[in-house]
Structure 1
């Protein structure tokens, strides 16, 4: 089998919780050797639950596969030296401490680069190194300050967070892209560089049409439930049984929708003949579609509308979504190769590479599981340097 694309890379992972670990797990899936440096108490997410399985947090298990764990107390001189040795031999270092923390231990980019000029050093922070450097970096806080909650929820009076720590995940993905770009440049120049990603900027960028509407037209969007500010019908609708999503983006699709619902006159109604008019008259459109959808359940309309090329689907829970993905020919679940059937069940990486596919080599490590082996290796590196 062809080696994974990042199989020669050593990543020193000083990050914890979600954004950094999600980034390093992605690099690990692509073949990198990830050494996860944990404080004696371990990554915060080891205690985040329920749910737990075999006393392990599923939160932690879900973002730490393909890694080896070493416990290092950076306040201990010997452990700090081990951390420095690791950083000085790594290809990539990822950390998400508050700005200035790594510098206090001599593990900042400037210091480490003196011994390792090829290092790609990635810092993930909440609000960057400037005026927001001391603010806590919780995803919920960034969702609030960054405007995401103001456009999420049933109405303007009910700001709502997303159902997952989405900003952390986005920042982790941006960090991954930045690291891979810096590694590509290193292949050309032979020199590493610093990669910085902060959650606030990641969110503002990922707000896409909502943020560009403000920047370009000074339009301030607000929450409109599951609707879309620029498309209709694009929302959830009640049926005879269950909720149905309609994501109708063209006039042709709208015509097919109306015909399938037995409500063809709606497509010729002066209020609804174009998308712009449908957006302006969304409440009347909702009432009309609600009446047409009421006689049948959501699963019926899903089947009928999909057959006519109309984007529609019942609102699933996560337990419904995984079997559906399998039915669609996807592979949403994978097992690690280390033979641990309970802790090694994984949500699959969505990246598909035809020649060098992602790999699931090991489950998330127990705290300090690889400390002895890694310490021995670091000691050997120190010995070689001392005798060189």
Structure 2
């Protein structure tokens, strides 16, 4: 689009707030971090680009809480993640905002109502006294010799600055950490998991729909694509019953550039193209479902996600990198802040899944500590992990627990007047266990 430069006029930016803890991003990890820090008495602010909380769970309509349960070939499942994730899920249950667990291979997931998710987050955030700025974008960092001391934001009022003592990057893309100079990777040799445009359908007869297994749906898609009847780029699809039993959450599309090219979720042109392509694909999957899948004959699309669902962009390199072998060998850590039995679920040209059975691995605190930057923690899908490991660790329950740990770590760092990298992880673990975490 041209290489001309416009020299922006230098100007003073007003500092609108001085906080203890500043959380950037209001998805599961950001909500957990902000609520936890504020409940310890910290002056806490969260900024969020949308007018609601939820991140990819709501705006991206991933619509599920994954990672709560164990994994077993015999499907003898138990909830192995509680803590903040359990607290949030119980609140959803109290308002009939989440469905009973449904099988996902050797484990299970729970589908939630997006409005109930927003309302639950609202209640927790406001109850904890967190300061909130919706409709606000992170724009830049304010650094002091490798130490993050403030951020620049952009909203309707223009550019403003917020000072803080500890910052938590819950943007999903590691925007703050990357801008602060932390080293990062982009997938595996430049390949990241493909995004998805998720959508909801109403008018579904689940008594009929449940008669066809996921494997049978996949085989039917293969037959129809081979015959040239439909253009369906992804065969391994998820048709999930929502809390209202006549609705379905459809996770089916695969957004890739021609030739299976990578969509870069940190490039605006790629995101823009993906939004158009995603909406095009959902109509083709709707046609297939209505034509051929039992229970969907009278169904209709209620809505699509607010934005394309991003699974992976930047990985911020931390003091420890969660390895693929850590997942596959069910490794445990002395500094663990979360456990998980969710499979490696890698969305590429095909969906490849590697299950953990009758065991779980743990996520150590050090994956949230970006190298070379002080007073910053990273949580959510940008944590420090190898490509395949991230395809397991990025899911909702673990994001909740990372935020839970980060919020208390920020409090501990401020209380003890040390950097987040110097806090006693044992104290974080004690706090989490005292508040329901399975560690």
TM-score calculated relative to the size of structure 1: 0.26
Return the index of the structure with the highest Cα Rg. Answer: 1
Which structure shows the higher helix fraction?
1
Which structure shows the higher strand fraction?
2
